[in-house]
Amino acid sequence: MSKTLKRVLEEFQEREKRGVSKYGTTVDRDDLEEWQWVQHAKEEAMDQVMYLQRLEDALFLRAITGRANRTQSPSGDGGSPSRPPLPTEEPAWMRLLRTIARPFGGTSAGSIANEQKRGET
C-alpha cells in the first residue's frame, strides 16, 4: 500500500469517527430518503467549490504578486487588498486551469484575468 493511500484511508477513518461523534451514526443509516442524500451531497459539493475558489484566488494573487493572500488591505483598513497590474504572460497554472475547465464552460481564473484586463475589479 502506498503512503498516500494509507494517509487517505486514515483520513476517511478519522472522518467517520468525527461523524459518529457528531451525529451518532455512520452513513449506513436508513432514516434518510434518497433526495435527502442528494441534498447532503450537493451541500458538500458546494462547500468544496467554495474551498476551491478560495484556493484559486490565493494562487492567482500569489502568481501576480509573489505573496500569499491577506485578509487585510495593505493600508490595514480591513478592505480588499489592491491588485497590481497583471503580468504580461498568463501564469502556467492558469493556462492549465483553462484547459481543464474548457469542457465545463470556462474558469473563474480566466474571468478574473479578463476583469483585470478590463479594469473591472
**pLDDT per residue over 6-53, tens digit each?**
999 999 999 999 999 999 999 999 999 999 999 999 999 999 999 999
3-class state of residue 90 by DSSP = coil
pLDDT at 114: 54
CA distance 90 to 111: 13
For residue 32, the 8-state DSSP code is: S
Q: Is residue 96 part of a domain?
A: yes
Give the chain's domain count.
Answer: 1
Q: Is residue 27 part of a domain?
A: no
Across all residues in the chain, what is the average pLDDT?
77
Q: Is residue 113 part of a domain?
A: yes
Residue that the C-alpha cell 489592491 belongs to: 82
Domain that includes residue 49, residue range: 38-72+81-118
Q: Is residue 29 part of a domain?
A: no
Q: Is residue 89 part of a domain?
A: yes
Q: Is residue 88 part of a domain?
A: yes
Q: Is residue 55 part of a domain?
A: yes
Q: Are residues 92 and 63 in contact, defined by beta-carbon separation less than 8 angstroms? A: no
Q: Is residue 101 part of a domain?
A: yes
